[in-house]
Amino acid sequence: MKLTRRNFLAWAGIGAVGAVACEGFGIRYGELDIQSPVRLPEDLVRGTDNWYASLCRVCPSCEGIVVRVMEGRAKKVQGNPFFPTNQGKSHARCESGLQALYHPDRIPSPLRRSGPRGSGQFLPVSWQPNGIDSLRSALQARGSSSVMITEPLRGHLGLLASRFASAIGGEQLGFESLDNNTYRAAVKNVFQQDNLPDFDLENSKFILSFGADFLSTWISPTRFNRGYGEFRQGEHRDRGMFYQIDSRFSMTAASADKWLPVRPGWEGHIALSLAQVIVAENLQATGVNVDALVGGAAGTQALNNFRPELVAPMAGLTSEMTGGDPVEFLKNLARSFAKTRPAVAIGGGSAGATDNGLFNLEAIYALNYLVGSVGVEGGVTLNPGSPWDNVPAAGKVGSLADWTRITEQIRSGQTKMLMLHGADPVHGLPESLRLRDAIAQAEDLFVVSFSPFLDDTSAMADLILPDRVYLEDWGDDISEPGPGYQTIGMQQPVVNPLADLDPLSFPDVLLTMAQELGKESQLPWSNFKSMLREGSDALFALNRGSIDAASADDFWNRLLQRGGWWDEKSTGPTKVQAPNGLLRSIAEKASDPEFSGIGIDSDSYYLVPFSHNTLLDGYNGHLPWLQSAPDPLTTVTWQTWVELGDSTAEKLDVKEGDIIRVESSKDSIRAVAYISPAVPPDVVSIPLGQGRQHGSDYATDRPGSESSNVMDILETTQVKGTGSLAWAGTRVRLFKTGESVSISKLEGDTRAEEIGTTPGEEIIKTIKPENH
């Protein structure tokens, strides 16, 4: 009988085929032989454990992990000590992979909608023929007007999803609530690179960060935490200096030597004021062609418009914040940054999330050229591309402009099919975009979700075909950012799905559909594992890197055993010439931030949303371990809170635990008041992650617990030049509701207090950085 891809899908549920054990914890290196069981029986009893290397998919940065398996059950997840980006460290999020695997609310089998769209009413159906045939029929009728929305995809799954969408005439886009497109554009414009850079924090002596909460949620926090630990406590070196310029007192700000609260949107002006001082006082690094970088006399004149005397009052800097004259503070900061080398300037997060965010980030990263920190130890490390031809090292992620266009296409009937995987855009986009309404009212739209859990978008689906979770499936990833050299991570199935679950692998379903739709020429692989094996054989043919093997089969086993492949000699460029007149170009296109909706007055506040330390944008909201993990600063769990300064709380006559109505021009939400002296008087902050309407009880609104989605009140302002959501560009008003609840936090009744300061030393701190 011919082995069709449909036959393969029917047999794929038998076991986790080809998992390879690695040398793990509690085991001497080299002690274990490679084991390749065809199947891990449910009743396997050995009395010993196996460790399997894989990748964490709870974290967007895809850390290398090892999983302890006993008797066919995954018991423990921890960092892979071999993997270059995290080197054995892991984020709290990684541990929760076990809860995703054994979650009681996993969708056990395919579902077909049985009630009104969005009601969450479904009936179970079989994979074959009902589920697969329904998907094939929908693709045949609507594939050419389809949109596939996924998590940001890299590696072979990124290639497969992109090729599949192209083969059927559709479109594929990655989704992030707080996308990094503006950051990517700044990297492209300043460094001429398509790949995100790494920052050599461990060898730096001065870190200057603008808005990037890189120790909590920004880009690759586990890697940055490891480097930051060396920066602070590395052997045979002095303790580095760290400044954080940020409108919110984040986990990263709490770890800094000095935190400078700044009005949202003015980070680029401050960066150019530092550049102006460095140029005016001739403090640039040896060998830097200042005249070419600045753009001659015209560039110098443009920079003079950003003298500290002009910028300090615009950015809202006061003597109370800076411990003295704000102008002298900026000048001294510029001098320290220029003279303490190697130094590195980092920008991201809220600094790129106002309408002038691209200007802000370009100004920040241009500072690295002035102090000679591009492509050197302790500075900005540029990354190489993919070791494979045509396999993407970065995912294509949609901007707010893209999602606005797709929403209109759904309304007009131009888009007739949505396919969803690893994305919840109904929850993760501003409510004022009305994507939920557009899907609900589109009578000719067919929605297919491949989610293993119900969420706000999959609740709108006509058909749900549950995917396996990552501990049950194959995959790979190209680390982004990499550690400065080519790095590939491998994901392998370490356990079988439980007997009462019947998920199928998303990439294998796509390959089956490609065969049945006659698209095998574009997607020729029999299954996703064979596609990955082809990639392994290509790496073997390169004859370089971390794996020394005599044959392609041996290479494949070692690749799985180690959890990846990397080549420390295949580095990114070390010498990058700054574009001529870079600083002049940035200075001449500078713009002040604009805030639509509620105007700037004494009764309104800057709203600075932020990703939850463990829930992120709500992607992990169904995992109770991550719901109950305390926020690093407030220690709040399970709730949506709003951070208020002492002066704001006094003005509103609010105490901790009071429920506040937070109102923008778009809508309003409710949140529990958390009062701290570290919140600037004209700023309020609210975490993302809560407020789901559908799905697991752990993710949806719970009685007695305020759970709101801050995306519901954001303005749909776009970042100029990228079309991304300017998520830090909203003004709000606050109102007491007269209601109060007990705030769910671990710090008890002890509140954060401002510690004593002397002029020129740290500003507002709740925890001394050396004890953080």
Q: Tell me the two tokens of residue 94.
A: 């990684």
The upper half-sphere exposure of residue 201, i.e. CA atoms within 13 Å in the direction of its Cβ, equals: 24
Whole-number pLDDT of residue 43: 52
Q: Indicate if the pLDDT at residue 8 is higher than 80.
A: no
Residues carrying CATH 3.40.228.10, the chain = 181-384+580-585
In sequence order, what DSSP letters do the residues of 61-124 get, joined into one string? T--EEEEEEETTEEEEEEE-TT-TTTTT---HHHHTHHHHHT-TTS--S-EEE-SSTTS--EEE
Whole-number pLDDT of residue 597: 83
Integer CA distances (angstroms), 507 to 530, 663, 771, in order? 11, 43, 46
Residues carrying CATH 3.40.50.740, the chain = 111-174+395-472+503-544
Tell me the β-bridge partners of 260.
Answer: 245
* 713 closest CA partner among 692, 695, 730, 699: 730
Reported as a single tens digit per residue, the pLDDT across 571-591 is 999 888 899 999 999 999 999
Q: Tell me the two tokens of residue 509.
A: 């379903």
CA 318 to the chain's CA centroid: 33
Reported as a single tens digit per residue, the pLDDT across 382-398 is 999 999 999 999 989 99
Whole-number pLDDT of residue 41: 53
Burial level of 575, CB count in 10 A (0-12/13-18/19+)?
exposed
Residue 602 binned pLDDT confidence (cut-offs 50, 70, 90): confident
Which of 318-327, 523-532, 604-613 is least confident? 318-327
Reported as a single tens digit per residue, the pLDDT across 737-754 is 999 999 988 887 767 676
Whole-number pLDDT of residue 576: 87
Mean pLDDT of 7-34: 53
497 preceded by cis ω (within 30°)?
Answer: no
Q: Tell me the two tokens of residue 309.
A: 């005397």
Whole-number pLDDT of residue 402: 97
Look at the chain and count its residues. Answer: 772
Whole-number pLDDT of residue 59: 85
In this structure, whether the domain defined by 111-174+395-472+503-544 belongs to CATH 2.10.260.10 is answered with no
Q: Indicate if the pLDDT at residue 758 is higher than 50.
A: no
Q: Indicate if the pLDDT at residue 237 is higher than 70.
A: no
- State the architecture of 181-384+580-585 in CATH terms: 3-Layer(aba) Sandwich (3.40)
Whether pTM exceeds 0.85: yes
Reported as a single tens digit per residue, the pLDDT across 475-485 is 999 999 999 99
Q: Indicate if the pLDDT at residue 601 is higher than 90.
A: no
Q: Which regions of 576-697 does DSSP assign to beta strands (E)?
A: 605-610, 641-644, 658-663, 668-675, 683-687
* 44 closest CA partner among 14, 71, 75, 74: 71
Q: State how far the Cα of 425 lies from the Cα of 149, in Å rounded to an integer.
A: 8
Mean pLDDT of 291-299: 94
Q: Are 329 and 318 in contact (CB under 8 A)?
A: no
Q: What's the CATH code, domain 605-740? A: 2.40.40.20
Q: Indicate if the pLDDT at residue 341 is higher than 60.
A: yes
Reported as a single tens digit per residue, the pLDDT across 457-506 is 999 999 999 999 999 999 999 999 999 999 999 999 999 998 889 999 99
Mean pLDDT of 59-74: 91
Q: Are 302 and 295 in contact (CB under 8 A)?
A: yes
Q: Indicate if the pLDDT at residue 23 is higher than 60.
A: no
Reported as a single tens digit per residue, the pLDDT across 123-182 is 999 998 889 999 999 999 999 999 999 999 999 999 999 999 999 999 999 999 999 999
Residues carrying CATH 2.40.40.20, the chain = 605-740
